[in-house]
Amino acid sequence: MPRERLRAIWALVSLNGLLPLRRQPLFLLNTLTSPFSFLFLIYVVSGGKLVADAVEGGMVLTVLSIGTSLQTDLTHYKQDLKFHEMAVASPVSAGTYVVGLALSEFVYSLPGMVIFVILSFFYAHYIFLGGLIVFGTLILIWIFASSLGFTLATYLADVRETFAVSPLISIGLTVIPPVYYPMSALAPWPWLQVAAQIAPTTWAANLVKGAMGLAPLSFAGGVEAVLILLASAGLLFLTAWKKAQWRES
């Protein structure tokens, strides 16, 4: 990657990630609120029986929050600050712009991810391969979440709209699907099990649960989950790229 792209990405990470955290550390607490709230709720309701699933769900939601935060920041930069227009007029490419902002959001989620990873060692039966699967799955979720945030930002015309959309995303992708709880909990309702597979986060959760030893994971099932996550992220990113109307090369 050319040095200019690396410098542009670092500038975006500093602008949207490091500087806000230095000036207002409370932003960090905000990113931890939802994942740990659901973890506490699942722990209380299940009497601790599903805490391992809740830890896995916390990892998925923490990374998914990158997408919801990204859509808010992108909309704010585009509609309020007109920063998007400045980026379009600069030598920065669309890919560099999105990667830089997506990495800046990763800065917010990193502390929460570290906490959940540490917790997972108390409940998971990790082996080296399992750790690699978890790491790879979280990267796929990051790609999907960033693509989702970028896509939504191209359609939203006001930052206030993102405040209405973000909670719906969290509910639709991590609360209703079997992310914080096992798929077996939906056994009495087979149609719900089928419907849950529409959410890419269900497949991501299956990968992480399999790697943590919480649920069986076959090689074919793992490959299928990876392909679905890649296809979902790729479709969203292509849609957003076309809608973004970046400058003509």
User: The dihedral of CA 57, 165, 69, 90: what is its sign?
Assistant: positive
User: Measured between alpha carbons, how far is 43 from 174 in angstroms, rounded to an integer?
Assistant: 16
Q: What is the pLDDT of residue 227?
A: 93
Residues in CB range of 107: below 8 A, 6 or more apart: 13, 17, 18, 21
User: Measured between alpha carbons, how far is 179 from 200 in angstroms, rounded to an integer?
Assistant: 10
Residue 211 lies inside a defined structural domain of this protein:
yes
User: The dihedral of CA 40, 41, 45, 46: what is its sign?
Assistant: negative
Residue 249 lies inside a defined structural domain of this protein:
no
pLDDT band for position 126 (cuts 50, 70, 90): low
Question: How many domains would you assign to the chain?
Answer: 1
pLDDT digits (tens, 9 = 90+) for 46-97: 888 888 888 888 888 888 888 778 888 888 787 777 787 777 777 777 778 8
The amino acid present at 213, given as its one-letter code, is G
What angle do the packed helices 51-75 and 200-211 form, to 10 degrees?
140
Residue 223 lies inside a defined structural domain of this protein:
yes
Is the model's pLDDT at 23 over the cut of 60? yes
Which tokens go with 164?
């209405």
pLDDT band for position 248 (cuts 50, 70, 90): very low
Among 94, 108, 109, residue whose Cα is nearest residue 8? 94
pLDDT digits (tens, 9 = 90+) for 145-192: 888 888 888 777 777 777 778 778 877 888 888 888 888 888 888 888
Which tokens go with 65?
């929050």
* Structural domain range at position 44: 3-244
Residue 234 lies inside a defined structural domain of this protein:
yes
Q: Do residues 159 and 80 touch, judged by C-beta distance below 8 A?
A: yes
Q: Do residues 105 and 70 touch, judged by C-beta distance below 8 A?
A: yes
Is residue 189 helix, strand or coil?
A: coil
pLDDT band for position 249 (cuts 50, 70, 90): very low
Residue 74 lies inside a defined structural domain of this protein:
yes
Work out the average pLDDT over 199-217: 87
Is the model's pLDDT at 128 over the cut of 90? no
Q: What is the pLDDT of residue 1?
A: 55
Q: What is the pLDDT of residue 101?
A: 85
Looking up tokens 């916390």 gives 58
Q: Do residues 153 and 67 touch, judged by C-beta distance below 8 A?
A: no
